Structure 1
Amino acid sequence: MLISAIRRIAGWMEAACLGIAALCLLYMVFVVGFNVLARIVFDATDTAVNFMIPGAIEQVSYLLGIVALAALAASLNGGMIAVDLLVGRFPPLLKALVARLWFFGILAFAIVLVWLFWHETVATYGRGEETQDLRIPMFLIYGFYTLECLALAVIALREALTADGHHAELS
């Protein structure tokens, strides 16, 4: 019962992480592509026409963190990629134990990240920090990072409880 609930929640979190990563990547490509074209117009008109998106570098840099954490969480689906001559030769039970050990390690890492990002969220909220160009409250960004790390923890927990040591690339 508990494992099925964890599987269901982890599945939702995985889908959300994939959706968020896809939207952020599309927006990043748009911002970078648009600014490249706008820069050409800007240079061709001797700075008379400026269509560049304000704070584009700042937007892309924070979105890159969101994409990286979302991709990390979503990448755990179906096990980790394992290119290992030693583990590939283990019996199935030992493969499963090794896989579960790695996922428990990732779970511990994700919990530490959740804790650190949560404290940074609270601290930046208390200090009222904002981004340099767009004046976005920093606690929102760190809060989003915290949620993504929480998704990583739940997905890693699901894999740690259900991993069978099977890796598609070893078949």
Structure 2
Amino acid sequence: MQPFLEGASRWLALVCRWVAGGCLILMLAVTIADVVTRYLQRLTDGAISFQVFGSVELVSYLMLFALLAAMSASVEKSQVVVEAFSHRLPASIAARLHGVYLLGFAVLGGVLATGLVGAAHAAVEYGEVTQDLRISLGPIYLVAAVLSALLALRSLLHALLGALFGQSAEVSHGD
């Protein structure tokens, strides 16, 4: 069971890193396109008048996705609080304590995912759209819900690895 949990965690971490990286690249592309088109418009006194509509909105939603995916990808590496309390404990006890601590993140991710799924259903039902681009908020909330569920799942996997097996949460990802 332990190799299965480790393999599932590695695979999910890889997916989350790809999502976070893709969102960061898209954020960079939108920002560069917005700056270049504004500069061209200013440089040509309005003769060239291209504009990236909704760039702030796009960047903000991409940032949301990037942050959720990055949190999910690195859940086992980012818990400094437990180390402040457990730095003198034996490694297996510290790993078990860290596993119990990650259960809280699993619950947090589950609550976020549940709330976002409810928000997505309400957004679709009432036709809620974004302010600038008029994109339906339902799919945006669903993507955020999936990424929050991945946070919950990876936290739960590492909580099980730590609490049941006493294994350090720092798992090598082999890349």
Identify the TM-score tier after normalising by the shorter chain: 0.7 to 0.9
Structure with larger RCO (C-alpha < 8 A, sep 6+): 1
Partner of 1:28: 27
Partner of 1:38: 37
Contact 2:5 2:161 in 1 (8 A): no
Partner of 1:151: 150
> Per-residue deviation at 1:56?
1.1
Partner of 1:80: 78
Contact 1:117 1:143 in 2 (8 A): yes
> Per-residue deviation at 1:85?
4.7
Residue segments in structure 2 that go unaligned for 5+ positions in a row: none
Letter in 2 for 1:33: I
CA distance in 2, matches of 1:106, 1:81: 10
> Per-residue deviation at 1:166?
6.1
Residue segments in structure 1 that go unaligned for 5+ positions in a row: none
Q: Give CA deviations for 1:25-83 in whole Å, capped at 9, x if unaligned.
A: 11111111121121111112222312222211111111110001000000124x43437
TM-score (norm 1): 0.87
Partner of 2:48: 49
Contact 2:161 2:169 in 1 (8 A): no
CA distance in 2, matches of 1:97, 1:68: 27
Contact 2:158 2:169 in 1 (8 A): no
Letter in 2 for 1:96: A
What percentage of aligned pairs have identical amino acids?
29
CA distance in 1, matches of 2:89, 2:152: 27
Q: Alignment partner of 1:136: what SS?
A: coil
Letter in 1 for 2:147: E
CA distance in 1, matches of 2:85, 2:170: 13
Are 1:121 and 2:120 an aligned pair? yes
Partner of 1:69: 68
> Per-residue deviation at 1:136?
1.4
> Per-residue deviation at 1:143?
0.2
Letter in 2 for 1:120: A
How many residue pairs are counted as aligned between the two chains? Answer: 166
> Per-residue deviation at 1:138?
0.4
